Structure 1
Amino acid sequence: MTSVPTTVPPPAATASDRPTAPHGPRRAALAAAAGTAIEYYEFGVYGYLAVVLGPHFFPGDDPTAALLSTLAVFGSAFLMRPLGGIVLGRLGDRVGRKPVLVLTVVGMGTATMTVGLLPTAASVGVAAPLALLLVRLAQGFFAGGEVTGAATYLAEAAPRGRRGFFGSFTPVGVAIGGGTAALVAGIVSTVLSEAQLEAYGWRIPFLLSLPLVVVALIARKHLEDSETFLATKEKRATAKAPLSEVLTRHRAPLIKVTLLATGSNCGYWVGLIFMNIYLTTDLGYAKDSTFWIMGGIGLFVACLMPVFGALSDRWGRKKVITLGFAGYGVLVVPAMLVMGLGSFPLAVVAMVVLALPMPIVQSVTYPTYAELFPTRVRYTGLSFSFNIGTILGGGLSPYLATWLISRTGNLLAPGFLLMAAVVMALLTLLTVKETGREELA
């Protein structure tokens, strides 16, 4: 009796068996940075031009009241971010990372451009601030899934042992977006007269978001979903109710990311964006010169971020993050004292020194956030917790800093606000495990 040879079919290809595109992590890093730059370009432009926007949408005799109203609308966008994070995070965890990242870029860019087309209160009365509020809410909704989606995607696309380096390109986009916003505001305020800036010049930076969206879409067009997510989807292991699972099974990372994000956002929005208001409104330095300095600082710190991201791959995430937060706590008040001496060159030096902790904190916290959640709920968990921290540390901090100065008369009050956020973040960091060398869950 002879045996009949049988042919055993080869096993089905899994996500890890698929050939990956050459330069995949690098392409992913550039695409993630491009989209995140759009988000923070918009938020940066609004923050830098808040002093100009205020009288157009909230006219009155009190410029401080107009500024506070403008900053309140600025903060309203942050209130929509958790809702956007829930909706877009669920889509990202159920359908895929790429389609949501494309959607967020288009949504944010369209809303940002719309701000530049809005009528002012002089034309339509109370409808003007209401329209501004609605557009800001739309921006906040789409922003709720942008930077967290980029951080999620890069954590999954990066090779093991290099997630810190590649993950740092998410905040590189943050810094480039904010820096570009300041440079554009500087160009507009330099080229145009004060009257032209008030009349129509403030619209130009918002309208320029359209070509930026085109660039981001080109960068993201050829991306594929991460192998980590595709493997989870092939195993039918995606979460049916991601938010419910995060709230019931991953409460510890949710709380930790929320508190760390509060500290890091306060460092960014108080330590960089609010300082524009502080230098121009409170200390009386020229707007155009301040815009140029802020733009240069934003691009400078963007160059440093990959360095500290790579350093966290060697030293560990917690050591590098601790260094950054401690830098904020030590430097903020002395830097503000130097800014108040009345010398613009000294103020520039102080601003550069105060900005140094930002690339350290921003570059390493984003990959850390993503590493604390498992793949099946990573997008949702990161979006929900980060956006709550963004409300507390970002949306409220410029308003609260301005309000503290107006109520106390103490120009150093924003510095003490940042120091309090830093202490909270450092205490939270003590409870976070080191994730730099571990496999993603």
Structure 2
Amino acid sequence: MKTSVQTLSKLPKRIPTGTWTLLLSLILCIVLAGCKTDEVPPLENENISSDTYQYNIGLSLNGKEILLDGAPFYPRGYVFESLLYKKENLIEYAQYPEYEEFCTRQLAAQDYYFGKGDFTDNSGLDLARAWGANTIRLNLNQGALDPQNQYYSENYVQLVRRAVSAARNKDFVVILTIFVAANKNIPQPMQDENPNIPINNPISLGACVKLAELFGDDPYIMLETLNEPWSPTRRDFGWEFYRDGGTPSAGCCPGVEFVGVNTIIQAMRDKGAKNLIIVQGLKTSFKGFPGGFVDPLDKIVYSVHPFFGDGSDPERIDWDGNFGFMAEQYPFLITAWGAPLAHGWCDEFGLNKPIEFLNYIDSKNIGMMAYALDVPFTTIRDFRTDPIEPTVLGNQCSTWAGRGTGEIIRDYFLSF
């Protein structure tokens, strides 16, 4: 698509790729097998496990191009953060005044995702579809997914399975990403269960292998090896530790054991996973990228999160240098982006910078996940009180919490 974001709302809407897939499958079924349309199984039961799906070709690669059922595919959708936390932890720590607001909001966000409780008529997944999404990204707790970790939770695994089923039953492609507890608003005991680390560690390995076991046979799911990694030491050495693993003797984490992405990918393939695997750059950038990431199936997709920050670092808007060159050479997508005005970038970069960004990724045919549908004042104003109100840029820089890129992202997605 080669058009300005300002004209997006005037463009005709396209039927989502997954909808065409379902329609074509029904037609072929009727013509070739004589089946009846009323025999198609319902798609609304969130308890259906992923191993009951009837698969088509799914996601694949053709050079640097991502394909869905053999046709070019540009993932566009929304991040959900509420699945990052164990429900039992949220219930427990909601009893403490200092954690009550955070925990009750996260519990409400889980209901919002599934369309339960106060959200039976306006689920997050349905809003994502109405706002042009073909893909959902779920942020996941690596500590709760690693069976060898003392904080592993079978209840959490089942929550993830239900969440994936809910999205897949609504015909979404799904991205699953392991996270550490980098959010400072998380109750301290929950941070202690999933400590912040710069790159993958043995717990990351266990979590990725678990996801491979659970979802490795679903070709409509992408698995992301770690959210927002950053170098634990000098950046040139950091790439090597990130790729190959090892134990640095200096930097932020001397003596800490890290597991290389190549080791993780091989372990996932050893479990039979056929998914596309997403690998992020270090701290929002692929500058200094040495190559050497290896997948036996040659199905790596690369990603960064090019948030604008507070405007103090002009390197953040060096899109060509940070990731544009990667999109020219490799399969690439952005798995989280948004620009709330409260972050402070507007005075330095200008109010039009988000529109420039969307036009830039459009010119490069880069898919994107918007952050987020269940975090207030990011893409949506507040799912609890304004469940269908996006944040808006307005006409001048402001730190007011209702200002952001939700509206222009929604219109951008709906133009496809």
* TM > 0.5: no
TM-score by length of 1: 0.24
Higher relative contact order (CA 8 A, sep 6+): 1
- Higher-strand-fraction structure: 2
- Higher-helix-fraction structure: 1
